[in-house]
Chains A and B, each alone.
Chain A
């Protein structure tokens, strides 16, 4: 555990503490050199993501938060899924939904400490398998996971029917022209 860092479970009532860290993760994904599918603006994305997290937290999902002097500087969101149909996983397996560390705290071992805490929690619950989705081009994250024993599994591709130009880019271009979405002028 890095000096001065504590890690604890975050209850649903305190979920907004990690809103800024979700936004930091979104900015990180958007800046990846191989990012092809544009992300939503964070003020549009957080309410949607927050709703997904709160729904999952009614079940077996959990959020771990890392703090320095009481302030949230990183978090992870883990979801418990049913059995994988291809690989043997027991009756449940975990999916790491988010892992975010605030920019100034990156490289200090906070991410590894959060992953250690997740492993402890999963061991306590008897969950033996974990799946993680890493955005294409997020090499630092992929290397961290591979160093922890994770191996490549399925690869998700994005496309449009009939090899047409990608709909996501067309939609973003329309937003740009109309000044909508992340191209909307700053609010009052």
Chain B
């Protein structure tokens, strides 16, 4: 007798995920650090030939960027939680219209990250849906975001949402560079 065929679907014992918009004044930036570190590790694994920073060295430089971007009027974060634990976030800066291209105010999604244990289940799309809802409320219709060349899974998520290639960044470290990474 095949019991497995009649077994009910396994129930996820964990609490469900929630996704919410958080304004800068209510955001404790340091709670984002573990997820930022997981993204840094993901980038370093995708492109081992590039010189990734240490976890502490990276956050020491990312945190002030987040502070600066969130100080711009309209900027916001979207947090995904499972129970009390943070499992994903997006950080969105609202910018002036571009000088070169025909745009209105621009939303730049500086980071979209989902915890490694939660990837592939649509949580990133749920976070982006919430970003879109807030941008609709703000009346911002032009969105920029970037992903690391080689991160094909991320590119597919954005392509499905109608994003198209715009600018490709290239990077070069001088052959004779001698400085080495410091741990903060």
Binding site for B on A (CB under 8 A): 26, 29, 34, 36-40, 45, 48-49, 52, 82-90, 122-123, 128-136, 142, 145-146, 148-164, 166-168, 170-172, 175, 181
Contact = CB atoms under 8 A, between A and B. Distances in A.
A156 B170 contact: no
- 9 closest A-B pairs by beta carbon, nearest first, are A167-B141, A159-B163, A161-B132, A150-B170, A48-B99, A157-B163, A152-B149, A153-B171, A163-B162
B103 interface: yes
A133 B144 CA distance: 14
B164 to A, nearest CB: 5
Given A45-B100, A149-B175, A171-B104, A88 B51 contact: yes
14 contacts: A40-B101, A88-B179, A129-B174, A131-B171, A133-B168, A135-B166, A136-B168, A142-B168, A145-B170, A151-B171, A156-B166, A157-B163, A159-B164, A160-B143
Contacts of B150: 152
Given A129-B173, A167-B103, A168-B101, A159 B158 contact: yes
B165 A146 contact: no
B33 interface: no
A172 B164 contact: no
Contacts of A49: 99-100
B168 A160 contact: no
Interface string B92-112: 000000011111100100000
B46 to A, nearest CB: 11
Contact of A159 (B161, B168, B179): B161
A97 B183 CA distance: 30
A155 B168 contact: yes
A101 to B, nearest CB: 18
Band of interface residues on B: 35 or more
A37 B102 contact: yes
B181 interface: yes
B18 interface: no
Among B101, B103, B104, B163, the one with the most A-chain Cβ atoms within 10 Å of its Cβ is B101
B172 A156 contact: no
B164 A86 contact: no
Contacts of B52: 86-88
Contact of A151 (B65, B104, B155, B172): B172
B121 interface: no
B110 to A, nearest CB: 10
B102 A163 contact: no
Contacts of A154: 146-149, 169
Contact of B172 (A48, A82, A149, A164): A149
B134 to A, nearest CB: 9
Contacts of B162: 159-160, 163-164, 166
Given A161-B136, A161-B143, A85 B173 contact: no
A45 B102 CA distance: 10
Nearest to B159: A157
Nearest to B101: A37
Contact of B142 (A34, A40, A87, A167): A167
A135 B150 CA distance: 18
B144 A158 contact: yes
A165 B49 CA distance: 38
